[in-house]
Amino acid sequence: MRFSGDPTVFGNLPLDATCEEAVVESLHNRKYNGYCPSVGIKEARQAVADYVSTPTSQVEAEDVILTSGCSHGLEMLISCLADPGQNILLPRPGFSLYKTIAVSLGIRVKFYDLLPERSWEIDLQQLESLIDDSTAAIVVCNPSNPCGSVFSEEHMRDILTTVARHSLPLIADEIYEHFVFSGFKYHSFASLSEDVPILASGGLTKRFLIPGWRMGWIVVNDRHDALSEVRIGLQKLSTRILGPNTLVQGALPRILRDTPDSFYRQTIDYIEENAQEFYRTFRELPGLHPVMPQGAMYMMVGIDMDSYPEFHSDVDFTERLVTEESVFCLPATCFEYPNFFRVVLTVPKEKVTEACQRMRNFCEHHFQPTTVRNGNGCAIQAGIALNGSYSAEELQTVPGK
Ligand SMILES: Cc1ncc(COP(=O)(O)O)c(C=O)c1O
């Protein structure tokens, strides 16, 4: 039972018919078989501009560069903004691609912490302490992979105030834009700032459930002409691989304009129900501390390692879980955050129920009660993050929690 970040794996979350029809139309049109401008065709760029613009952040086609998935956008942004020897600030836990790209380019990385006890908000004081003269940009991811968190407007404004103090550009990974559970609201970073230059990267991958179509974009939200040189740099970088395939560019305006809201809602409701089932189960399992997500497709679960003395690490724990129960979860060491694992929420409901049962077997089999667990800090750290499940004091007294 493999829980991968690709929502198409099990076939339970089909794409909307609009996407298929738009590509068929684009194919039959015969206008989209050739090369196109390296930054993308004008109509498709304008469609993205219309899609991401808000009353407080208006962009036009010339502010958009189409990319081969969001990964390509991130690669272009990091290459363009930082020189070898400079540093960029990355979230911890965070999507591992940021580090992979930066390190391969000789760019140094520094990690700022996300706080589980505050639903994975950024520790802004610690972030600010990392900024130095060689800092070139700050990367933020909202909604988050791997945390499933969605920042509140207030927290986003605090982030932007902090970034503005240092006149740095923000790289906003918004590939999970609008992917928020009921009761939460999505804001783009660009919609909340008039001063911070924001380079947002998004795409069709997650919200439209078509990662294989490799359609992403960069949106340049310039402020006070701070990004004129960056625009030139991005334009030059786009010529290296000539962006995403033309056929999907031809389909993009229709996809973005006509996909019905009911499709988005159905997908999110499905994932939220899975999140609730996993959360209910993990809360009951001894030595596990789930942090209820607010959006995206993931949940992080803390492991009280003192309660599982057989295992040396989250890697060890998840390896044994897959060996004994065939349930694969990613150890959060992959996200620079040991003693947690990440669960993917897009799997079919019957597999969620089965996985919950197998994880129950696994935990009940390996758990060893201890009276006071504060050895690695995980239990206490995760416990206060549980949106009302256990306080730090309770964690010390409730057997198995
Ligand atoms: C946070 C985040 N950013 C970027 C990507 C890459 O997206 P794409 O497949 O469009 O390149 C992913 C994919 O899982 C992701 O989780």
Mean pLDDT of 4-28: 94
**How many A from CA of 211 to the centre of ligand 1?**
8
Pick the CATH number of 17-258 from 3.40.50.20, 1.10.10.10, 3.60.20.30, 3.40.640.10: 3.40.640.10
The mean pLDDT value for 335-343 works out to: 97
For 203, phi then psi, to 5°, come to 165, -175
Pocket of ligand 1 (CB under 6 A): 5, 69-71, 95, 141, 145, 173, 175, 203, 205, 211, 216
Average pLDDT over residues 113-139: 98
Residue 310 parent element (H or E): none
The Cα 2–Cα 195 span in angstroms is 43
Q: Whose CA is nearest to atom 14 of ligand 1?
A: 5
For residue 316, what are its two tokens? 């060890």
Read off the pLDDT of each residue in 365-369 and give the average, rounded to a whole number: 95
Identify the pLDDT of residue 243.
Answer: 83
- Contacts of the segment 50-53: beta carbons below 8 A, 24+ positions apart: 50/256, 50/257, 51/256, 52/177, 52/188, 52/190, 52/200, 52/202, 52/219
pLDDT at residue number 185: 97
How far is residue 275's CA from residue 113's CA, in Å, rounded to a whole number? 24
Do residues 169 and 139 lie in contact, with contact meaning Cβ atoms separated by under 8 Å?
A: no
| % of the chain surpassing 70 pLDDT | 91
Beta pairing class for 215-221 and 288-291: unpaired
Ligand 1 binding pocket mutation candidate from 67, 145, 217 (most atoms within 8 A of CB): 145
pLDDT band of 10, cuts 50, 70, 90? very high
Bigger pLDDT: 369 or 53? 53
Whether CATH 3.20.20.80 fits 263-397: no
pLDDT (tens digit, 9 = 90+) per residue, 279-322?
999 999 999 999 999 999 999 999 999 999 999 999 999 999 99
Report the half-sphere exposure of 339 (CA within 13 A, side-chain side).
Answer: 21
- Ligand 1 atom with the smallest distance to the CA of 203 is 10
- The pLDDT, as a whole number, for residue 397 is 29
pLDDT at 370: 79
Give the distance (Å) from ligand 1 centre to CA of residue 175: 6
Mean pLDDT, range 135-143, rounded to an integer? 98
Taking the C-alpha atoms of residue 29 and residue 19, their distance in angstroms, rounded to an integer, is 15
Average pLDDT across the chain, whole number? 92
Relative to beta strand 87-92, strand 64-68 is unpaired
Percent of the chain with pLDDT over 90: 90
CA of 376 to the centre of ligand 1 (A): 31
* Per-residue pLDDT reduced to its tens digit, 149-163: 999 999 999 999 999
Q: Residue 4: is its pLDDT beyond 80?
A: no
Tell me which H or E stretch contains 88.
Answer: strand 87-92
The pLDDT assigned to 381 comes to 39
Q: Is the peptide bond before 399 cis (omega within 30 degrees of 0)?
A: no
- Annotated domain spans of the chain: 17-258, 263-397
Ligand 1 centroid distance, CA of 245 (Å): 18
* Residues 50-95: tens digit of each pLDDT: 999 999 999 999 999 999 999 999 999 999 999 999 999 999 999 9
Taking CA atoms, 161 is separated from 53, 63, 122, 124, 189, in Å, by 21, 23, 13, 10, 12
Q: Given pLDDT bands bounded at 50, 70 and 90, which one contains residue 383?
A: very low
Strand partners, 204: none
Measure CA of the first residue to CA of the last residue in the chain; give whole Å.
26
- pLDDT for 378 equals 46
Q: What pLDDT digit, counting tens, does each position of 195-248 carry?
A: 999 999 999 999 999 999 999 999 999 999 999 999 999 999 999 998 899 999
Q: Which atom, in ligand 1's list, is nearest to the CA of 144?
A: 1
Q: What are the two backbone dihedrals, phi and then psi, of residue 284, each rounded to the nearest 5 degrees?
A: -85, -15
